Amino acid sequence: MQINQNFTENNFAFVLNEYKYNINLGDIVAGTIFNMEKRGFLVDIGLPIVCYLPYEEISLHHKKTQNIYYSYSINNTTREFFILAYNKQKHQLILSIKRLEYIRGWKRIKQIENEDTILYLKIYNQNRGGIITILEGIQGFIPNSHLKLIDNKTLKQKKYIQCKLLMADEKNNKLILSYKKAILSILSKKIKIGNIVNGKIIKIEKYGIFLEIYNILSLLHISEIANQNITNIDTIFKIGDIVKVKILHIDMQQGRISVSTRNI
């Protein structure tokens, strides 16, 4: 169904004034579904004007079967609706539950962002780029760069994952989350700047060494290995070695740790 939104707010205001309706486009109203049609439902919001809820405006993500659609009607469902548009030809207000879910979902996400809460979300799909999940009805994404603490085998067995908000951009409907950020937060009592900890070397590069500290990937830069210049790191360290390091910097946002072996 194509919703006719060419009828402007001025036209809509004229109709409201003519019939003395105290409602506007964008309002949230209570109503009762009383009849099922081929592509949607008729809704009574207590005014002498037909209100219509198209199937595609019922939910953000859940695919509903015909039986579930039917249950809305026979149960005389009463709930809130968002006034989405006005159909001039049919003299109908077009209602939406989906838009209401979207608005309220983003409102709750902003609260979660302010509280910096650790979340436990269901994994809906995994692709080459990362994991798709849903928070408050809004689709979210955890990129691979924020999943590096979990191997693919373990990840495929998981149904839920701990994470924290990394970016919540309502304007562009973009929700990015991080598993690494959540783990860092959980381990915040153990991992503090200045703490001396043990790390296991998992990779050696010309510019430094990558270690695992409490399963978190950490970088020991070549400039932080010793007070004197070092040219060949691999002559000093080997993969699998356990190294005592001092934590220099913790990037909670990106889930990164920088460490040093100098002056320990």
Equal CATH topology for 9-96 and 102-185: yes
> Which three-class secondary structure state does DSSP give residue 32?
strand
Nearest to 83 by CA among 129, 20, 16, 165: 16
Euclidean distance between CA atoms 130 and 100, whole angstroms: 28
CATH homologous superfamily for the domain 102-185:
Nucleic acid-binding proteins (2.40.50.140)
Beta-carbon contacts of residue 223 (< 8 Å; ≥ 6 apart)? none
Q: What are the percentages of helix, strand and coil residues in the chain, rounded to 5? A: 25, 40, 35
Written as tens digits, the pLDDT of the chain (264 aa) is 344 444 445 555 555 555 555 678 899 999 999 888 888 999 999 888 889 999 899 887 655 555 555 555 556 778 999 999 988 888 889 999 999 999 999 999 999 999 999 999 999 998 889 999 999 999 999 998 888 655 566 667 778 999 999 999 999 999 999 998 898 888 887 888 999 999 999 999 989 999 988 878 899 999 999 877 777 788 888 999 999 999 999 887 777 889 999 887
The values of phi and psi at residue 57, to 5°, are: -105, 15
Euclidean distance between CA atoms 224 and 246, whole angstroms: 10
User: Could you state, in order of their start, the residue ranges of all structural domains in the chain?
Assistant: 9-96, 102-185, 191-260
Token digits of residue 190: 């153990």
CATH of 9-96, picked from 3.90.380.10, 3.90.1720.10, 2.40.50.140, 1.10.10.10, is: 2.40.50.140
Please state the pTM of the whole predicted model: 0.69
The single-letter DSSP state of residue 257 is E
CATH of 191-260, picked from 3.40.50.300, 2.40.50.140, 3.40.50.970, 1.10.3720.10, is: 2.40.50.140
The values of phi and psi at residue 197, to 5°, are: -135, 165
Token digits of residue 21: 């309706």
Contact 120, 161 (CB under 8 A): yes
Contact 123, 177 (CB under 8 A): no
Nearest to 179 by CA among 231, 230, 217: 217
Euclidean distance between CA atoms 62 and 132, whole angstroms: 15
Angle at 63 between CA 57 and CA 64, to 5 degrees: 80
Tokens 């799909």 found at: 125
Q: Is 137 exposed, middle or buried (0-12, 13-18, 19+ CB in 10 A)?
A: middle
Rounded alpha-carbon distances, angstroms, from residue 215 to 41, 151, 181, 257: 52, 11, 13, 11
The single-letter DSSP state of residue 128 is S
Contact 262, 227 (CB under 8 A): yes
